[in-house]
Amino acid sequence: MIDNDESKQELIRDIYMKCISENYNGLESMVSEDYTEDDMIQAKKERIHKQEWLIKDYFAPLISARVTYPESHKNDCIAFEIMKELGPVLVDKFNNKIMYKNLKVTAEGPILTLIVNEDVNHIKGETVKIEEGSSIGKYIYIDVYDTDGNILTRKDIGLKSKV
């Protein structure tokens, strides 16, 4: 796989069209940036702030899916391929219950955010099945937050921690 801006843009377009809308709105402008560690810290702070706002606004559980693997640069074709594979699975699982969905590419890599009108314990159980049901599930964090903004862990629903 060639890891260039054109490949990345094509992958992001595919992810967006499968997860968000068939009307692609042009996320490619966010792809080419060289991010620093400070950029990654700032992106995380902004993501957390946005998540808190969405939970309060919708008063419903939030799912945040982001790619994680041992690379400091999270905006490469590997990250986009992982999200391309698992993002649509997540959207399809909760399709009729999704109140809000967004795909954003930041210094943290591609991040899929969903607000879902469903029991938070059920959501966590289903996201665990998605992570464990895929050979690349270990490369994605699917965090589930309750309506108070607390993250649900596997232990909270009676399961062992992610290995």
Tens of pLDDT, residues 86-134: 899 999 999 999 999 998 888 888 899 999 999 999 999 999 999 888 8
Residue 123 within a domain: yes
Residue 9 within a domain: yes
Task: Please say whether the beta carbons of 74 and 104 come within 8 A.
Answer: no
Count the domains in the chain: 1
Residue 92 within a domain: yes
How distant, in Å, are the alpha carbons of 54, 81, 151 from that of 15? Answer: 22, 9, 25
- pLDDT, the chain, mean: 84
- What is the predicted pLDDT for the residue at 106? 85
Confidence of residue 28 (pLDDT cuts 50, 70, 90): very low
Share above pLDDT 70 across residues of the chain, in percent, rounded to a whole number: 81
- What is the predicted pLDDT for the residue at 53? 96
Residue 29 within a domain: no
- What is the predicted pLDDT for the residue at 130? 92
Task: Please say whether the beta carbons of 107 and 43 come within 8 A.
Answer: yes
Look up the CATH number of the domain holding residue 137. Answer: 3.30.70.1150
How far apart, in Å, do the first and last CA atoms of the chain sit? 28
- What is the predicted pLDDT for the residue at 13? 72
Task: Please say whether the beta carbons of 28 and 10 come within 8 A.
Answer: no
Residue 74 within a domain: yes
Domain that holds residue 10: 5-21+60-157
- What is the predicted pLDDT for the residue at 152? 94
Instruction: Quote the pTM value.
Output: 0.84
Residue 13 within a domain: yes
Tens of pLDDT, residues 36-88: 888 889 989 999 999 999 999 999 999 999 988 766 667 777 888 888 888 99
Sheet with 140-145, side-by-side order of all strands: 98-106, 109-116, 62-67, 140-145, 151-152
Choice between 104 and 22, residue whose per-residue pLDDT is larger: 104
